[in-house]
Amino acid sequence: TDVRDDAGATKASSPNNNNNNNNVVGVMAKMETRIVVVRVVPGFDDAALAAAFGSKSLRAVVLELYGTGTAPSRRKHLVDALEIARQNDVLVVATTQCRRGGVVMSTYAVGQALLDVGVLGGHDMTTEAAATKLAYLFGKYPDDLDTIRTLITADLRGELSPPEMYTRPFFEDDSDPVIPEVPSTASF
């Protein structure tokens, strides 16, 4: 039997569940589509971002940043564009372009500046997971930006690892790594 809940999710009972609600599968029907993904690249146009962030129909942006959540350091206009997003209630979530690791935006001054204008760190969530999660959350809580801000950084279905998995040091033990000494008079 299929039933719709208040959020538009279709719930179908599994044929093997013996009417036990613990086995109900839900499919979300109301997904927000006004979400874009922006990959930060060298030389990107801040004015284009400001125009996009100023759109009254845009709900959220997944911003793919460098490394732990940083962008070009001398881009004041990027911060200005993100301030426009905040003023228009456009939620911005930062993910990393790296294959491993996660966003810890307070690591560098640029990341901290992005946090200061409301960008949320996506931890180690993939870009695809962040976009899908935003679509789901905006579909479920369309008028509750505070709830969405809270839930986007919470692990709902295994899309986030525990922080110690992506914030640990590069070297597993507490000893200093052995780095080969480079002769000061090396000739090339």
The span from the CA of 39 to the CA of 174, in Å, is 35
Closest CA to 84 of 118, 40, 112, 111: 118
Residue environment code for 99-129, b if the CB has 16+ CB neighbours within 10 A, otherwise e: eebbbbbeebebbebbeebbbbbbbbbebeb
Averages of pLDDT over runs of 10 residues in the chain (188 residues) are 51 47 74 94 86 92 89 81 94 92 85 92 95 96 96 94 74 51 52
pLDDT score recorded for residue 188:
42
* Strand blocks (E) in 42-123: 60-65, 91-96, 120-121
pLDDT score recorded for residue 111:
86
pLDDT score recorded for residue 18:
47
